[in-house]
Amino acid sequence: MSENDDNMVCEELGGEAFHADRWLAAIQDRIRTAARLGQALAIEGAGTRRGFAGLPVGESLSLQAYRGIVHYEPDDLVITVRAGTPLAEIDRVLAQRGQMLGFEPPAPSGATIGGAVALGWSGPRRPFAGALRDHLLGVRMLDGMGRELRFGGQVVKNVAGFDVARLMAGSLGILGPLLEVSLRVIARAPVELTTLLAVSPRQALQILRSLPSGPGLLSAAVHVDGCLHLRSSGSAHGVRSFLARQGGELLDAQASQSFWQAFTQQTHSFFQPPEGDVGDGAARLRLWRVSVRPGSPEMDLHPVVTSAIDWAGALRWVWAPVTAGQEIAGWARAHGGHASLWAHGTAGERRDGVFGPLPPAVMALHGRLKHVFDPRGIFNVGRMYPPF
């Protein structure tokens, strides 16, 4: 299953035929001109995540028009798609063959696969099915001189040399625009249900440390609003037997799907500013994302107003004022992780950088990689770290 070659008309956009090769040539010319003049370009897909990370600088370079499935062989468990392809379209095509993206990416309306890879986000299934980068097999992209590059391939076992393709997961576009990505897909479970246990965060973490995982067992675990949500995916008998052993209140299939969709897309009420948050400036609450090693304890910090547990304990969502940033980052480092300002930061805070500082050697490595791919420094300036 594949689309027409790039020199063919591949789809209709805005009432006009879209020619992929002409579009690509125009994008390459624009990059070369920007490199020659030292003009910054802000790479984006559908623009659904402009509010995340550092403030975009420069003129928009949209990849949204470059869309469509390049190659999909269900028996090979691999799909190759253009970067502007909506996640919803990919999900629809995979669902027709009983398959899905295993990293369960958040997919707000219009969000594209290129944006998902550049952001590097994985949903609640991550601890049990792997992170986005684990499913990324290959990429086709443009560098800062407008040259076309390919890394990885379209096979699951590609072990030739350094896996450069995985660098693009979470790169926020600072290395260059993605044109195509090849991803491993997984079988879609026939049954997926959830049970709720009314427990404290500390009790939830204790339960999670003792639970087994494997096919037909856990596929997601989140604690929010005083309840531990345990999701199981697999055969009807396996799922119901596993969840019955955990106890709690079993949700029906529709309620289970609604909860996980809301939490993954961050439309769940937790992701709205807590009631009573009427402060201004530094007093207003921000949403922090705290990634830690599995098995880390409850985040019992005084500045934290409320929090949720994701990734079976390896990810915490925290509402706290900006003045708590250093304390939160210190707690994350002490537990093998890192913290970032996720949402509701001011423009000044985003310009200063939303990610915690890196060790000098690691920052220097980031800088060298940036220079190799983008020698003129034109792509997504300030999106990840201010020096870039």
Q: Round to whole Å and give the CA distance between 1 and 239.
A: 33
Q: Round to whole Å and give the CA distance between 351 and 77.
A: 41
Mean pLDDT of the chain: 89
Q: Which pLDDT belongs to residue 129?
A: 93
- Token pair of 130, please? 């792997």
Of 17-26, 124-133, 149-158, 252-261, the one with minimum mean pLDDT is 149-158
Residue 288 predicted with pLDDT over 70: yes
If 0-12 CB within 10 Å is exposed, 13-18 middle and 19+ buried, where does residue 126 land?
buried
Of 9-18, 31-40, 319-328, 353-362, the one with minimum mean pLDDT is 9-18
What's the per-residue H, E or C state across the chain? CECCCCCCEEEEECCEEEEHHHHHHHHHHHHHHHHHHCCCEEEECCCCCCCCCCCCCCEEEECCCCCCEEEEEHHHCEEEEECCCEHHHHHHHHHHCCEECCCCCCCCCCCEHHHHHHHCCCCCCHHHHCCHHHHEEEEEEECCCCCEEEEECCCCCCCCCCCHHHHHCCCCCCCCCEEEEEEECEECCCEEEEEEEECCHHHHHHHHHHCCCCCCCEEEEEEECCEEEEEEEECHHHHHHHHHHHCCEECCHHHHHHHHHHHHHCCCHHHCCCCCCCCCHHHCEEEEEEECCCCCCCCCCCCCCEEEEEHHHCEEEEEEEHHHHHHHHHHHHHCCCEEEEEECCCHHHHHHCCECCCCHHHHHHHHHHHHHHCCCCCECCCCCCCCC
How confident is the model over 153-160, as a mean pLDDT? 51
Give residue 16's pLDDT band: very low, low, confident or very high (50, 70, 90).
Answer: very low
- ∠ Cα 71 265 224 (to 5°): 135
If 0-12 CB within 10 Å is exposed, 13-18 middle and 19+ buried, where does residue 96 land?
exposed
Q: What's this model's pTM, rounded to 2 decimal places?
A: 0.89
Residue 246 predicted with pLDDT over 90: yes
Which pLDDT tens digit goes with each residue over 309-343? 999 999 999 999 999 999 999 999 999 999 999 99
Q: In percent, how much of the chain has pLDDT > 90?
A: 76
360, amino acid identity: P
Residue 215 predicted with pLDDT over 90: no
- Pick from 74, 268, 92: which is nearest to 184 by CA? 74
- Pick from 164, 99, 105, 72: which is nearest to 369 by CA? 164
Q: Which residue has the tokens 């910054």?
A: 40
Task: Say if residues 167 and 369 touch (Cβ distance below 8 Å).
Answer: yes
Q: How far is CA 360 from CA 68, 205, 349, 380, in A?
A: 41, 34, 22, 21
249, amino acid identity: E
Instruction: List the 148-152 sheet strands across, edge first.
Output: 69-73, 78-82, 178-184, 136-142, 148-152
Q: Which pLDDT belongs to residue 56?
A: 84
